[in-house]
Amino acid sequence: MGLRELREKALRELRGNGEGVRVLSDRIYDYDIYNDLGNPDKGLEFARPDLGGQRRPYPRRCRTGRPSTNLDPKSESPANEMMPMYVPRDEAFSDGKRRTVDAGSRKGMMNNLFPFFKHSIEGDSINSFADINNLYKESRNRSNFPVESTADAFKFDPPNIVSREASCCLRDDEFGRFTLAGMNPISIERLKVFPPVSKLDPSIYGPTQSALREEHLISHLDGMSVQQAIEKKKLFTLDYHDVFLPFLSSINAHPNRKAYATRTIFLLTQFGTLKPIAIELSLPSMNPFKPSKQVITPPEDATSNWQWQLAKAHVCSNDSGAHELIQHWLRTHACREPFIIAARRHLSVMHPIHKLLHPHMRYTMDINARARELLINADGIIESLFSTKECSMEITSLAYKNWRFDMESLPADLIRRGIAEQDPTEPHGIKLLIEDYPYANDGLLIWSAIERLVKDYVNHYYPDSNSIQSDSELNTWYYESINVGHADLRHETWWPKLSTPDDLVSILATLIWISSAKHAALNFGQYHYGGYVPVRPPYMRRLIPNEDDPEYSNFVSDPEGYFLSSLPSLKEMTFLLSVLDMLSTHSDDEEYLGDRKELSTWRGNPEIIEAFYRFSMEMKAIEKEIDRRNSDPKLRNRCGAGVSPYQLLVPFSGPGVSCRGVPNSISI
């Protein structure tokens, strides 16, 4: 009680009043919309709509208070040397973290420098897959050749996840496996309705019916009808139709960007793997006499083989954009930040929930600010490297309308996507319909451990509902997270209530899950899963020609050349590889899940220290269990000849690009 007045005074100083320009020495936390992504003063082509509000709903960010642009008084001017990007100083990178990020930038510049001059002199066109393979160092045992050759000095490490075979295209088995154990394992859903139906307005986007029909699938269903396969829960889908179709006219207006809105149907085989059996490619309905949708099925001859390869490349291009913009940026980085701002504004550093969440908020606001400055801004890295161009952030705003916090826990997400069903007899309370689903299998181990830790912690401090309801700091934090931080969705009825200890356990476990394991699964595999462009292109430059298209004869005469000309240029590939390498890097000062640094904070609470110790032991046991699973030949999505082990949810890692390790927080 003696400290209550001091706690309230400290929190008032952190909140600010929503006015004034922030300087780097400030410790003020306030909210703002995303009105700082464009730069109309540089040119109208660099103007971007504000995100946040009824028209374009969006989570709130930390306010910086920079002056408005000259041409748009509602938009905030970009950061510059005179007025750098503001981050509350307690959220800023440490010197060690900053050195790691700066070193990654320098490494990327060096890797780009030689190829840039080489391609400027020799040309940037791709004549064969050998030109792409030449971007990488020789794939050999580096321990036997400790001295790097001059030829390899400016080349990239070969991604060790994706196979680079003679065909150099994505194999069907890899295509299916990467939806379950790749860099985006959270988009796959069970197919429940056939043909699929769009939810877009038909008066704007044309008929809602899919072009997929039973005759496209029947020969691949092992004797089942489509309805039987659906009833047996054997059909799954990657459906990006409604995500991309509203933006295709803008995307395809660019001379070097061409995209479809794709749907892919997969069959769950008797071996527990996913087999792609049909791809639907949709374009805006521009000509009533020319179909805007086509379906491509597994090949029967040489021509259909290359059409199938191009179709898979377009699906992967869709998936790359959806992964980076929606699953990664929106659902982890952007949606997590309002909870952090509210925590700093309303939870005293002495509050037990602040102490629990503190390591799970580390560096997130700093990395988000850097993203607004370099990654998601007008003409930034995302617009330069992905198909979505200037539509990128509007796509995330449309996706945010369907975001639900109550569906962000791992079990709820799996059930929502139809991948799992509730089953109290199972260890985690749910039954997976795809038994060999590495992301879900490993993730459930971590989720359950987080839930147990949080339950022990919450029950220690909050023995009953009265203790929850009487905690003004706690309730104000949660209220503001929703009503200010996520103001555009504040009236939704799905927001979890905060009335009981169980309510608090669910909310906190979900926040910790998003900050740690979910983000790790989406982030730290980017280089090794996305670093070989023919297998996972970030965008395509050509559509698939039909027989009446002028390009069709060129495609038939040189299908490999047509495929290569559809990929990004060699310069753009080197830029992409540099970015993915930096984003996939663990820093030297990384703090991993289960590695608590400040246990002395609970010196007077041995029960809490014991709970953290048990959690740390669980993380070590989970690491051993994942290693065991990766050696089990029955698990074909993570073990087998040429099959990469799934290690993204192994809790611990050393520094660098390891494709493993679960940090406590969203820190890159």
Please list the active-site residues. 328, 333, 519, 523, 668
How far apart CA 537 and CA 317 sit, in angstroms, is 5
Distances (CA, A) of 14 to 17, 22, 179, 344, 381: 9, 12, 43, 7, 33
Check if the beta carbon of residue 469 is closer than 8 Å to that of residue 475: yes
Helix, strand or coil, per DSSP, at residue 102: helix
Tokens of 496: 């979890």
Sign of the CA dihedral running 569, 239, 292, 553 = positive
How far apart CA 117 and CA 649 sit, in angstroms, is 39
How far apart CA 594 and CA 396 sit, in angstroms, is 32
How far apart CA 226 and CA 235 sit, in angstroms, is 8
**Helix 570-583 to helix 95-122 angle, to the nearest 10 degrees?**
170
Tokens of 4: 């209550």
Strand residues in 93-133 grouped as ranges (E): none
How far apart CA 259 and CA 280 sit, in angstroms, is 12
Which of 473, 152, 167, 111 has its CA nearest to residue 309? 167
Helix, strand or coil, per DSSP, at residue 327: helix
Three-point CA angle 249, 548, 170, nearest 5°: 70
User: Cβ–Cβ contacts within 10 Å for residue 374, how many?
Assistant: 15
Sign of the CA dihedral running 633, 637, 643, 646 = negative
Check if the beta carbon of residue 270 is closer than 8 Å to that of residue 280: no
